[in-house]
């Protein structure tokens, strides 16, 4: 049965329904209670294994809780523990659960020739730290599970000083032993943690053993199901950090949010005077303590007295040059307290939203960006070093970008500090990715803790302009309450940055399907063509999360996934359409589509894109060809010109990245191929498409250089 005949009846129905397709106003979340994070860890059913002679998991409790995060550790006296670590792959997880292994691997026992102990690190199996194990050893490429790491080092604990063991990050769950004692436990693959080891180190030979389990869990953030490689291991720097007995633990030094300023307070003045607002937290002090802030270049020297908890909050006016992509001005900042001195390089800028605009230092801006995963451009595997960061920044500059979405989890500190120096604005994100247990208080507690760790690390980075709460989460009441709780938590910790989230709306898809269907029918039958002149669809983002965030992120794959989905749907309806017919029409027509939001807020297209295998060339409709990918970008950028609230772009994705989800072993071969660069950093045609586009946007034109 031909299209037109098939369509005639439903077509009229469609016509009727099309007219009345009012976009429902978004459901407001005002008054909706935040979810609870009262997490009760269920006891391990001890009897579960008691009859298994080989496997007796014991719930070992670390001797102490994690210590609050130290700020800017690289400005302190440190001993790097990076390099080769001995390793044991523990597939069954018996390393701390087998009665045959005495107190378990963490105790790091050595044994004599007449003693039977069935674990040892002397087997010369080593893994590089920082680094994931998957890209270091072929045999571990697909490995997800437990690996034990051991590092032995000589050390002379400095007299009168305190020492902390600091991890930039390790994926996912870690138990940290120092000289045989379990001192710390941390979960979360992308945020730093530290534990004080002053009383656990000895003069001479010391050993740190870390049990790393790369498997997260259904109740965790993220879960196991992600479109990226679950790289396991101690993926970031490890160091011993020395401090005086009393020292500056952390601080926040930023400009007061402009909406806090009273009309006559200084920042409004033209003299470049700004209002600095912040706090400093000491540790190890006795009672009230004075602490001095010195910003020599700005002629600032202020002394504050802390309260008994060692905390001082302050606000004062200062003449400062503001940080921006064109002038990423950083000031050397020194904290002095007792015997302690800690320095940092900090930029000062305002970032806020006003209606549909994003304002940087009061000026409207457009975010010319790209999204990226934390994979190195210099070798396979996780990026972890300053060199990795510089390589990524170079590519962003080549792209004429001023913005990067660090997806979908906190990237390492080198990357954020490189962005600070280079003037690249950053979207930072917590891996609340797709479907997680939104109604589980423990899941919320984990997300909140990880966000606290991220903010404690990056709160002074001018480059970080947006805190993203998550990506593509299915709408539900539990999800909404989860995000309300997260937003409250993040705003309590930092009210100087707007919040965002990458939304995924299906709302517009039906309209697009109806539109393409009518056009196809019109092509098929003149009668239908005559009767119908479908209006190009408007896609309205009305996810209730738009009520919670300040900037709307929106992921859409018109020109890639949608054409395939529509074709399947039409075929299910008995229409004999081919995918290339739908794809061709979609590509031609999408420049007439308009994406709008139901909220008077800025819109950032946080993802769009298409896959291509670098070096594969073909016709304009040839999937996986560089030509097809470039064509999708051309049409996308034309379409996005129609969006009145559009204030930024971060197409998916800078580089092809490892993704076990991608099973087309012909073209994908376990890589997500939507990169502007191949997995080894070769530019695809689309790289120039976007860099030329961003170059054009840089040319001084309208007030807000919209696409």
The footprint of ligand GCU (CB under 6 A) covers: 227, 408, 471-472, 555, 607, 652, 672, 674
- Shortest Å, Cβ 304 to ligand GCU: 44
CA-CA distance, 180 to 106, in Å (whole number)?
Answer: 6
Strand 247-255 relative to strand 238-244, pairing = unpaired
CB-nearest residue to ligand GCU: 227
Nearest to 349 by CA among 267, 429, 293: 267
- How is the beta sheet containing 363-364 ordered, strand by strand? 351-354, 357-360, 363-364
DSSP state of 98: -
- CB-nearer residue toward ligand GCU: 213 or 472: 472
- CB-nearer residue toward ligand GCU: 177 or 228: 228
Nearest to 559 by CA among 513, 608, 521: 608
- CB-nearer residue toward ligand GCU: 162 or 408: 408
Distance set, CA 635 to CA 168, 336, 611, 618, 652 (Å): 41, 55, 15, 18, 15
- CB-nearer residue toward ligand GCU: 212 or 646: 646
- Shortest Å, Cβ 46 to ligand GCU: 39
Collect all residues with Cβ–Cβ distance below 8 Å to 53 and sequence separation of at least 6: 99
- Shortest Å, Cβ 374 to ligand GCU: 13
- Shortest Å, Cβ 169 to ligand GCU: 19
- CB-nearer residue toward ligand GCU: 431 or 602: 431
Classify residue 61 by burial, with Cβ atoms within 10 Å: 0-12, 13-18, 19+: exposed
- CB-nearer residue toward ligand GCU: 514 or 613: 613
- Say if CB 648 and CB 367 are below 8 A apart: yes
- CB-nearer residue toward ligand GCU: 94 or 229: 229
- Shortest Å, Cβ 502 to ligand GCU: 6
Distance set, CA 388 to CA 84, 121, 377 (Å): 19, 30, 7
- Shortest Å, Cβ 668 to ligand GCU: 10
CA-CA distance, 426 to 29, in Å (whole number)?
Answer: 27
Nearest to 502 by CA among 458, 462, 546, 464: 546
Classify residue 60 by burial, with Cβ atoms within 10 Å: 0-12, 13-18, 19+: middle
- CB-nearer residue toward ligand GCU: 144 or 408: 408
Strand 247-255 relative to strand 193-196, pairing = unpaired
- Shortest Å, Cβ 672 to ligand GCU: 5
- Shortest Å, Cβ 503 to ligand GCU: 11
- CB-nearer residue toward ligand GCU: 216 or 555: 555
- Shortest Å, Cβ 480 to ligand GCU: 19
Strand 331-337 relative to strand 77-80, pairing = unpaired
- Say if CB 677 and CB 377 are below 8 A apart: yes
Classify residue 327 by burial, with Cβ atoms within 10 Å: 0-12, 13-18, 19+: exposed
- CB-nearer residue toward ligand GCU: 417 or 673: 673
- Say if CB 3 and CB 411 are below 8 A apart: no
- CB-nearer residue toward ligand GCU: 422 or 562: 562
CA-CA distance, 702 to 119, in Å (whole number)?
Answer: 68
Per-residue b/e over 565-597, b at no fewer than 16 CB within 10 Å? ebbebbeeeebebebebbbebbbebbbebbbbb
HEC-encoded secondary structure of 296-344: HHHCEEEEEECCCCCEEEEEEEEECCCCCCCCCCCEEEEEEECCEEEEE
- CB-nearer residue toward ligand GCU: 517 or 611: 611
Q: Which residue has the tokens 């994003």?
A: 358
CA-CA distance, 486 to 618, in Å (whole number)?
Answer: 46
- Shortest Å, Cβ 586 to ligand GCU: 17
- Shortest Å, Cβ 659 to ligand GCU: 7
- Shortest Å, Cβ 647 to ligand GCU: 20
- Shortest Å, Cβ 611 to ligand GCU: 7
- Shortest Å, Cβ 291 to ligand GCU: 43
- Shortest Å, Cβ 35 to ligand GCU: 23
- Say if CB 124 and CB 130 are below 8 A apart: no
- CB-nearer residue toward ligand GCU: 567 or 672: 672
Rg (CA), the chain: 27
HEC-encoded secondary structure of 400-435: CCCEEEECCCCCCHHHHHHHHHHCCEEEEECCCECC
- CB-nearer residue toward ligand GCU: 338 or 507: 507
- Say if CB 396 and CB 370 are below 8 A apart: yes
- CB-nearer residue toward ligand GCU: 64 or 616: 616
DSSP state of 70: P
């Amino acid at each position: 049965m031909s299209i037109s005949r098939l369509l005639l009846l439903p077509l009229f129905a469609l016509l009727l329904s099309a007219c009345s397709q009012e976009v429902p106003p978004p459901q407001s979340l005002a008054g909706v209670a935040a979810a609870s994070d009262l997490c009760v860890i269920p006891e391990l059913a001890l009897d579960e294994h008691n009859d298994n002679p080989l496997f007796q998991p014991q719930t070992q409790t670390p001797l102490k809780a994690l210590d609050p995060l130290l700020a800017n550790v690289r400005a302190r006296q440190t001993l790097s523990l990076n390099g080769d670590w001995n390793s044991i792959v523990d597939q069954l997880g018996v390393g701390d659960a087998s009665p045959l292994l005495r107190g378990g691997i963490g105790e790091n026992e050595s044994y004599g020739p007449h003693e039977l102990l069935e674990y040892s690190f002397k087997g010369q199996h080593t893994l590089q730290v920082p680094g994931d194990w998957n890209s270091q050893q072929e045999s571990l490429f697909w490995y997800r599970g437990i690996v034990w790491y051991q590092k032995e080092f000589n050390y002379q604990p400095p007299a009168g000083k305190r020492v902390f063991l600091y991890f930039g990050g390790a994926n996912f769950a870690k138990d940290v032993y120092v000289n045989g004692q379990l001192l710390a436990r941390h979960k979360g693959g992308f945020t730093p943690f530290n534990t004080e080891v002053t009383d656990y180190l000895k003069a001479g030979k010391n050993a740190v053993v870390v049990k790393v389990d790369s498997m997260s869990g259904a109740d965790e953030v993220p879960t196991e199901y992600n479109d990226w490689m679950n790289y396991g291991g101690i993926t970031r720097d490890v160091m011993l950090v020395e401090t005086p007995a009393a020292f500056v633990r952390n601080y926040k030094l930023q400009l007061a949010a402009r909406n806090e300023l009273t009309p006559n307070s200084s920042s409004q003045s033209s003299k470049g005077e700004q209002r600095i607002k912040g706090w400093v937290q000491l540790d190890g002090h006795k009672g009230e303590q004075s602490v001095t802030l010195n910003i020599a270049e700005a002629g600032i020297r202020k002394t504050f007295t802390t309260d008994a908890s060692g905390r001082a909050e302050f606000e004062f006016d200062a003449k400062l040059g503001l940080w921006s992509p064109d002038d990423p001005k950083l000031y050397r900042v020194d904290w002095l307290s007792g015997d302690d001195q800690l320095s940092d390089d900090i930029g000062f800028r305002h970032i806020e939203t006003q209606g549909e605009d994003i304002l940087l230092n009061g000026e409207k801006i457009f975010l010319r960006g790209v999204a990226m995963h934390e994979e190195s451009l210099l070798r396979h595997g996780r990026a972890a070093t300053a060199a990795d960061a510089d390589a990524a920044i170079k590519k962003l500059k080549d792209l004429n970008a001023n913005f990067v979405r660090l997806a979908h989890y906190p990237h390492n500190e080198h990357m954020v500090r490189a962005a600070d120096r280079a003037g690249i604005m950053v979207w930072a994100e917590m891996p609340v990715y797709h479907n997680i247990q939104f109604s589980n208080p423990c899941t919320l507690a984990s997300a909140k803790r990880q966000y606290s760790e991220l903010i404690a690390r990056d709160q002074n980075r001018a480059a970080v302009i947006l805190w993203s709460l998550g990506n593509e989460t299915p709408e539900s009441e539990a999800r909404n309450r989860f995000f309300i709780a997260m937003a409250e938590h993040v705003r309590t910790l930092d009210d100087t940055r707007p919040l965002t989230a990458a939304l995924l709306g299906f709302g517009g898809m039906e309209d697009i399907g109806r539109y393409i269907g009518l056009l196809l029918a019109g092509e098929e039958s003149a009668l239908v063509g005559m009767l119908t002149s479908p209006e190009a669809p408007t896609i309205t983002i009305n996810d209730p999360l738009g009520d919670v965030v300040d900037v709307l992120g929106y992921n859409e794959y018109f020109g890639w996934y949608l054409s395939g989905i529509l074709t399947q749907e039409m075929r299910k309806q008995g229409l004999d359409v081919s995918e290339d017919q739908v794809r061709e029409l979609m590509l031609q027509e999408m420049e007439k589509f308009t994406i709008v939001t139901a909220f008077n807020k800025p819109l950032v297209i946080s993802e769009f894109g298409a896959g291509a295998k670098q070096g594969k060339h073909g016709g304009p409709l040839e999937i996986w060809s560089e030509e097809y990918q470039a064509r999708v970008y051309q049409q996308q950028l034309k379409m996005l010109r129609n969006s009145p609230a559009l204030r930024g772009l971060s197409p998916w994705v800078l580089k092809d990245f490892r993704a076990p989800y991608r099973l087309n072993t012909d073209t994908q071969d376990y890589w997500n191929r939507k990169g502007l660069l191949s997995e080894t950093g070769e530019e695809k045609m689309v790289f120039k498409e976007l860099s030329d586009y961003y170059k054009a946007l840089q040319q001084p034109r309208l007030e807000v250089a919209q696409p």
